[in-house]
A and B are shown apart, each in its own frame.
Chain A
Amino acid sequence: MHPMADNGLLESVLRLVEKVDGGTDSQDVAADLGVDHQVIVGAVKSLQALGEVISAEQKSSKHWELTGEGREIAEQGSHEARVFNAIPDEGLPQNQLMKMPSGKVGFSKAMSNKWIRLDKAHEGGPRVFKTVEAIEDTVRDKLQLVQKGQSAKLEDKEKNELKKRKLLSEVTVKSYWITKGSSFSTTITKQETELTPEMIASGSWKEKKFKPYNFEAMGVAPDCGHLHPLMKVRTQFRQIFLEMGFTEMPTNNFIESSFWNFDSLFQPQQHPARDQHDTFFISDPALAHEFPQDYLERVKKVHSEGGYGSQGKSDTHTHTHTHTLTLTHTLTHTLTASFTAKFTPVKYFSIDRVFRNETLDATHLAEFHQIEGVVADYGLTLGNLMGILHQFFTKLGITKLRFKPAYNPYTEPSMEVFSYHEGLKKWVEVGNSGVFRPEMLLPMGLPEGVSVIAWGLSLERYVDTHI
């Protein structure tokens, strides 16, 4: 921060600016007013803050300045001149001359200038004598010129010589080129910072000048709460499903029995997904009860012997009433519940937490959000699945889709959904989908000819990309 200059100084600066056409340099202003340049820099900043009184453009210029030693010489004369002047006509013993502050340098310079001579054979020791009557101290003269700001009168060679003797240095000075502003005036009026109720009441605002705002600064953050970004994305996905006529499934059952989670999904009992490693199993409460017994029997049969047109998987099927912590397939629950009476076409969705037994790190979460959509109707085709996925992703702003054959135990055909990522310039997987296997649907009591198409994706991967 520059010290605020007082109004007197500011007005002096303004008067100087008024006198010149085309502007003036702040260094010249400093020289004219006889104050340090930094003070004028402060004044310029204060004037700028008043609005369009002046305009000031920063510039930098190089100039020559005396060093400490240079200033001493400009005042007292060069070392060689001082040595010369110290010698009386009868001469001076050399050892005495050498004791002078300028002795050493001055002696050799004066010698090379041939102003003095040394009589080594003089009785009483070596003695120094003048050889000329008078001298001209050009070094001092040149330095004094620089001191007066007239360094332009010196030749470059001369300045460089003095620089080599460490008497001059070249410095860069930042200064302002000051010109009159659009509302130039030589008097300073105090500016108001803000409009007040009193000003409005009295009408005094009409006469006042207001300090300009700094539009570069940031505003004050509003005093409010925020929704979680991931939950905002969840809201968007809910909205998309609702727009497409999908009904929300009740997924608020984190604890599910192994039967609903695996068996009803035609997941073999030896399937790796059932390994202890991936699933959270519950120790308390340990066992589930109240299964729909006839459905259970049908599921058991299709696993072990086949049926509904299937070869089965020849699993040795021992039903374990253990619990698992997942919700992926509340779906089967919901579908079974919906179709116990008479089948009507349905569209369902769910977005909720799923769980996976993992240790946490940057890329693995034990909990994440799964988005699922499902349509059950007579005669649905694979082309229908692709069509509805196209509609769904278009609502997300993703229009370039393609499908890759894949494998899921409970859907056939199964397709991985890829979209073209314009940023990465490649196809990336955005979801998984398929047509549910008849072995899964028929034991649930769905009529022949009904197909169920479904897709799933992870909510987490859409954060930062769509909202």
Chain B
Amino acid sequence: MPTVSVKRDLLFEALGQKYTDEEFDELCFEFGLELDEITSEKEILIREQGDEKAEGASDVVLYKIDVPANRYDLLCLEGLVRGLQVFKEKLEAPRYKRVSPADGGEPQRLVITEETASVRPHAVAAVLRNITFTQERYESFIELQEKLHQNICRKRTLVAIGTHDLDTISGPFTYTAKPPGEIRFKPLNQSKEYTATELMSLYKTDSHLRHYLHIIENEPLYPIIYDSNGIVLSMPPIINGDHSKISLNTKNIFIECTATDLTKAKTTLDMVVTMFSEYCEEPFTVEGAEVVYPDGRLCVYPELAYRTETLSGDFINKRVGINESAESIAQLLTRMCLRSEVSGEGDLIQVEIPPTRADVIHACDIMEDAAIAYGFNNIVRSTPRTYTIANQLPLNKLTELLRQDLAAAGFTEALTFALCSEEDIADKLRKNIAETRAVHISNPKTTEFQVARTCLLPGLLKTLAANRKMPLPLKLFEISDVVLKDETKDVGARNNRRLCAVYYNKSPGFEVIHGLLDRVMQLLDVKPGRNQGYHIQAAEDSTFFPGRCAEIFSCGKSIGHLGVLHPDVISRFELTMPCSAIDIDIEPFL
């Protein structure tokens, strides 16, 4: 969930009202935002770098506000204020308009060459005319681009935004791709020119830019945008040129978005221009720019498309569980920046989706907005009349019953991780990993999670090791799932519910573990006996001490082992006392 940081006083000034922290928190809650933290630059610095570094830092109060991940229109102060003001009916949602250049001038043009196809094939562009920046507006403009880059642009992989002082460059602009050795320019905030190859190594150590290098690093051609005089505007998605950089005094801004995903590029461009056209001489107007494709097609951007959906008041009422007139629902939707009116036909409502609300893709999204405006907490809570008979999963029912009885038999339940290291299920148990039928994880963050466990024993032995200081004997059990490869399953693996118990004391206590087996079988109503009953029979298993291991059979089928653990197993789990264990599959008893 993205977090937007805004200055409190600036926010209240824009909202035309002062709130207490609690009041503003309430407003956020109602609207679906979260006032996550109240802080200041100084506090942040103190927390992150210590008192000394924070000396002299600003103590202007900052609100950190969590914004839903699909609401790109709330990622800056301008958008937040607009959304809240419309919600509180203090402002009518503005109508965003694309206009042609004043005085019949030619629109700006961006020509895409075919070389871009292999690396970053899409581009869109627009112009903001006669904008007035203040320090705060300028900072917000930069910050919004960063937020968009992190969210909808997926860390610049899908879309990268470049903004330029139009008065320092001259169109038409060319978006092409070239070998890195042939690209040479002075990048933003550097004092000399570099080739693209040099830049890639320069930014290897840049804490911010190094995260984007991988996007084009191994491509033979790098994307690059020139003006008609060969001046570099930007090398997307890495860096802009220094020449066209914007400043507080910039009046006219050329915005380009290059992309691997055209829809996201259009949305991103719409967001930037709808948010900041507010500060243009003619607010909420955006000058269109032409984009020419390698095949000669010509498109004008930004699209700023409005779309109309028609739905009935009844649909909203039935889905939300309220009973409002179509007029009142239209009014609710209008408060969510979805300008709506009753069409006159029955209870049908015409809902206009503005370019800022790319998140609205289905009638259910409109229904949600009606519910938010109505107030989630004003909706009457009613229990559904759905009548059903409950059923337990038989495997879980059996597990619940056995757990109770194992605890009553004096064993304590452990809860251990289902993931572990290869070593835990192989070397430490004196087994070969290839024979374990283990499912392997390809991308574990730590070696503790290399495989899914194939037996419960390692978890219990680790639990014993962590509780070595407790009075002896230690008696533990766990009934849970292990995972085994199984080619007959669609995913190639299946869970298996197992029961494992250990007895750890100065003497091995085979008879204790054997007694537990007898008790479990009594509970499962299986009598001792060779054919229809259960019995144990001497077996060799490398995890157990030779001659001290038996295989357990129930109704003629092998279900597991019990025995005294091999001394090497005991020491590999950092234990010092003899230990006996039982491990059985309980699925045959369903």
Contact = CB atoms under 8 A, between A and B. Distances in A.
Interface of A: 223-228, 230-231, 235, 238, 241-250, 252-257, 270, 272, 276, 280-285, 287-291, 306, 308-314, 316, 323, 325, 345-347, 353, 355, 357-360, 366-367, 375, 377, 379-384, 386-391, 402-407, 412-415, 435, 437-439, 451, 453
Contacts of B318: 379, 381
Contacts of B403: 227, 231
B29 A404 contact: yes
B386 A347 contact: yes
A225 B406 CA distance: 8
B398 to A, nearest CB: 12
Interface string B429-452: 000000000011111111011001
Given A367-B419, A375-B386, A288 B368 contact: no
A306 B362 CA distance: 9
B477 to A, nearest CB: 8
B361 A284 contact: no
Contacts of A358: 445
Interface string B357-374: 000011111011001100
B400 A225 contact: no
B376 to A, nearest CB: 4
B445 A309 contact: no
Interface in B487-535: 487, 490-495, 497
Contacts of A384: 321, 382-384
Contacts of B395: 250, 252
Given A366-B445, A380-B384, 11 more contacts: A238-B396, A248-B392, A250-B393, A256-B491, A270-B154, A357-B449, A383-B322, A384-B383, A386-B379, A404-B32, A405-B31
Contacts of A257: 490-491
B320 A238 contact: no
A255 B493 contact: yes
Interface in B83-124: none
A403 B376 contact: yes
Nearest to B395: A252
Interface stretch (B327-335, B407-415, B577-585): B407-415
B413 A226 contact: yes
B415 A407 contact: no
A288 B492 contact: yes
B71 interface: yes
A340 to B, nearest CB: 16
B415 A242 contact: no
B384 A377 contact: yes
> What are the 8 tightest A-B residue pairs by CB atom distance, in nearest-first order?
A383-B321, A381-B321, A405-B32, A285-B492, A283-B442, A407-B68, A413-B368, A311-B361
Contacts of B387: 245, 345
Given A379-B318, A404-B32, A387 B441 contact: no
Interface of B: 1, 29, 31-32, 34, 68-71, 154, 158, 261, 263, 318-322, 361-365, 367-368, 371-372, 376-377, 379-384, 386-393, 395-396, 400, 403-404, 406-415, 417-419, 439-446, 448-449, 452, 475, 477, 481, 483, 485, 487, 490-495, 497
27 contacts: A231-B413, A238-B392, A241-B390, A242-B390, A245-B389, A247-B389, A250-B393, A257-B490, A280-B449, A287-B492, A308-B362, A347-B386, A353-B481, A355-B418, A355-B419, A357-B444, A367-B417, A375-B384, A380-B386, A381-B319, A382-B376, A383-B381, A407-B71, A412-B364, A415-B376, A437-B362, A439-B362
Contacts of B388: 245-247, 345-347
B29 to A, nearest CB: 5
A387 B440 contact: no
A405 B375 CA distance: 9
Nearest to A386: B381
A357 B449 CA distance: 9
Contacts of B391: 247-248
Contacts of A359: 445-446
Given A283-B440, A383-B380, A230 B415 contact: yes
Contacts of B409: 225
Contacts of A375: 384, 386
Given A355-B419, A357-B444, A359-B446, A313 B491 contact: no
A250 B399 CA distance: 13
Contacts of B413: 225-228, 231
Nearest to A365: B417
Contacts of A312: 361
A412 B321 CA distance: 14
B48 to A, nearest CB: 18
B320 A383 contact: yes
A425 B578 CA distance: 51
A412 B475 contact: no
Given A314-B263, A390-B381, A225 B442 contact: no
A316 to B, nearest CB: 7
A281 B442 contact: yes
A439 B362 CA distance: 9
A438 B491 contact: no
Contact of A288 (B392, B418, B490): B490
Given A242-B390, A250-B393, A289 B490 contact: yes
Nearest to A249: B393
Given A245-B389, A316-B261, A406 B32 contact: yes
B376 A253 contact: no
B312 to A, nearest CB: 13
Contact of B441 (A223, A281, A405): A281
A244 B392 CA distance: 12
B495 A309 contact: no
B370 to A, nearest CB: 9
B491 A288 contact: yes
Nearest to B1: A407
B419 A284 contact: no
A227 B404 contact: yes
Contacts of B412: 225-226, 228
Of the listed residues B31, B321, B365, B494, the one surrounded by the most CB atoms of chain A closer than 10 A to its CB is B321
A331 to B, nearest CB: 14
Nearest to B389: A245
Nearest to A451: B319
Given A231-B413, A403-B376, A438 B362 contact: yes
B490 A325 contact: no
A226 to B, nearest CB: 5
B382 A310 contact: no
B384 A388 contact: yes
Nearest to A413: B368
Given A245-B388, A248-B393, A255 B439 contact: yes
